Structure 1
C-alpha cells in the first residue's frame, strides 16, 4: 500500500441497511500486494462473527472495466476489497460501481437470522450461552454451553420445534447503533460465553428479533423472520462435557417477494 494515500474510514452502508446490494463509490486506497482496494463506502460485509465475507464484482464507471470480488476483509476502520484476475487495479480517485452476489448474501442473511432465533430460544428456555458458531449459505452450526444430560434427542427436537414456531410468528428484525454505555445497560446483551466486543469501541450495533432476542451483532439480517423459512437440525455433536453443537439447514420460504424486492437496491 502506498503510505501517501492512507485510506480514510470506510462508510459501512451494510450496517444501516442490509438490503442494499449496489453501491457507487470512489477508490481511496490500493494494496498492490493483496490486489485489494479501499472505497469511500461499501455494501460488502467483510466477514466476522461467524458470517463469511461477501463476494461480487466492481466495475469502473469510466470504461466499464470489471473485476470480480472473491473476498473482503476489514483492517482497523478500512474495508479492503480483493480483486480477482490479472488486470491492472483501478487508480485512486476512480469511481466504481460495486454489486454483491445477492443470492449468496441473502442466503447468509436468512441463515444469520435463523441462528439468532435459535440462540434466543435456547437462552430463553434453557439458559444456555453460545460458545461458538459458523455459517455458510447452505448450512450453519451453533455451539451451546449445555450438559450432556440435557442434550437428548428429545431436547433437540423440542428446540427445533420451538425455533420454527418463533420463525412462523413473523417477528420484525430491528437494528440499532447506540453509545457503548447505553448498550451495556441492556441485560444479557452479550449472548456468547466470552465477550468478544473490543474494549475501545464507542458504539455498539444491536440486532433485535422483536419479542424474542436482543444482542450485540455486526452481521447482516433479513427484515422479518418470515423470510427465513423453517430450520431443520441436520446434525448434533458433543464437543465436550458442557459444549454441544447443533447443525442446521433451512428450507426456502414459499414467499420470495422480499428477495425480489431487494434486487438492485442502490445506496
Structure 2
C-alpha cells in the first residue's frame, strides 16, 4: 500500500503540510465518523493530536473535532452536527491556527530531541504536545548543573541558525541505514512498514516521523524550558513552551 493511503483515504497532509483546504467525496457517513476519499486532517500520532476543522456541503457546516484511526480514517463530527450523505462532495478546511501552532510545537520538540541527544546522548522515552506547549521524556540518569539553561540556550541557537527542515520518504532499508534514525528508546516503526517518512532538521536531527512540521527552525519561534521533572530513576521529563 502507498505510504500516503490509510484505508480508502488519500492522506494529503503527508506530502503538503501547508494544505488547509481541499475537496473530497464522502465514502462513509455516520454520527460516529465520516470517511472521505481524500483528507488533509492529521489523524494524530507520535504525540501530535489530531486536527480540527469543518466540512462544508450544500450550504451546511459540519464541525470536525477529531479523527479516529482504524481500517479507515474516520473524521469525528461535533455532537449534534448534521452529517453529509455518502456520495456528497464536500469542501473541507483544516483549522489553520491550531495546525500551524502544532507544526511549530512539533518541530520545536525535534530541536529539543536533537540537542539533548547531541549534547547528552539521551534517547526519548515519551512525549506529548498541545498547541505551543509540550513535554518530552528522556533516559537521562543525571541532570548536570545548569542543564535547564544550557538546553534552552542550545535550542534557541539552533532556531536562530534557521536550519532547513526537509521531509522525504525512503525505502525502509535506506531509511534504517541512516545513523541514529530512531531517537526513541523503543523502535516505534512497525515491521510491515515498507516506506519510512523521514524528517530532517539539516545538520541537527534526522528522525523517522509521521507528523507535520514547519519548513525551517526559525519558523518555530522561541523555546522556553519551563520545567524539569523526575519520572523515576534515570528518567527526566522536560516541559517546554513555544512563543514568538
Question: Which sits farther off after the overlay, 23-32 or 39-48?
Answer: 23-32
Query: 2:227 & 2:130 partners in 1: Cα distance?
Result: 15
Q: Secondary structure at the match of 1:70?
A: strand
- Once the two structures are superposed, residues 56-112 of structure 1 have per-residue CA deviations (whole angstroms, 9 ceiling, x without a partner) of 11111xx12111001112213x21101114244211111001111110110000000
Structure 1 position 30, deviation (Å): 2.5
Query: 2:148 & 2:79 partners in 1: Cα distance?
Result: 45
Query: 2:240 & 2:102 partners in 1: Cα distance?
Result: 13
- Are 1:71 and 2:66 counterparts? yes
Q: Secondary structure at the match of 2:177?
A: coil
Query: 1:86 & 1:251 partners in 2: Cα distance?
Result: 35
Contact 2:105 2:129 in 1 (8 A): yes
Structure 1 position 243, deviation (Å): 0.6
Query: 2:148 & 2:81 partners in 1: Cα distance?
Result: 51
- Are 1:167 and 2:159 counterparts? yes
Give the equivalent residue in structure 1 for 2:96.
102
- Once the two structures are superposed, residues 242-266 of structure 1 have per-residue CA deviations (whole angstroms, 9 ceiling, x without a partner) of 11011001112xxxxxxxxxxxxxx
- Are 1:53 and 2:50 counterparts? yes
Give the equivalent residue in structure 1 for 2:36.
39
Give the equivalent residue in structure 2 for 1:117.
111
Give the equivalent residue in structure 2 for 1:247.
239
Query: 2:214 & 2:166 partners in 1: Cα distance?
Result: 9
Q: Secondary structure at the match of 2:110?
A: helix
Contact 1:8 1:28 in 2 (8 A): no
Where in structure 2 are the equivalents of 1:152-163 lying within 5 Å? 152-163=144-155
Residue segments in structure 1 that go unaligned for 5+ positions in a row: 1-6, 253-267
Q: Secondary structure at the match of 2:122?
A: coil
Contact 2:7 2:73 in 1 (8 A): no
Query: 1:24 & 1:99 partners in 2: Cα distance?
Result: 9
Structure 1 position 143, deviation (Å): 0.6
Where in structure 2 are the equivalents of 1:105-254 lying within 5 Å? 105-148=99-142, 151-252=143-244
Structure 1 position 8, deviation (Å): 4.8
Contact 1:117 1:166 in 2 (8 A): yes
Structure 1 position 156, deviation (Å): 1.6
- Once the two structures are superposed, residues 167-210 of structure 1 have per-residue CA deviations (whole angstroms, 9 ceiling, x without a partner) of 11001110001111211111111000011111111111010001
Q: Secondary structure at the match of 1:37?
A: strand
* Segments of 4+ moved more than 6 angstroms: none
Structure 1 position 31, deviation (Å): 3.8
Query: 1:59 & 1:121 partners in 2: Cα distance?
Result: 43
Query: Paired residues, what number?
Result: 239
Query: 1:237 & 1:200 partners in 2: Cα distance?
Result: 36
Q: Please provide the CA RMSD for this pair.
A: 1.3
- More strand by percentage: 2
Residue 86 of structure 2, aligned match among 83, 92, 95: 92
| TM-score of the aligned structures, taking structure 2 as reference length | 0.94
Query: 2:67 & 2:127 partners in 1: Cα distance?
Result: 20
- Return closer, same or farther for 1:59/1:205 CA change in 2, 3 Å cut-off: same
Residue segments in structure 2 that go unaligned for 5+ positions in a row: 1-5
Q: Secondary structure at the match of 1:218?
A: coil
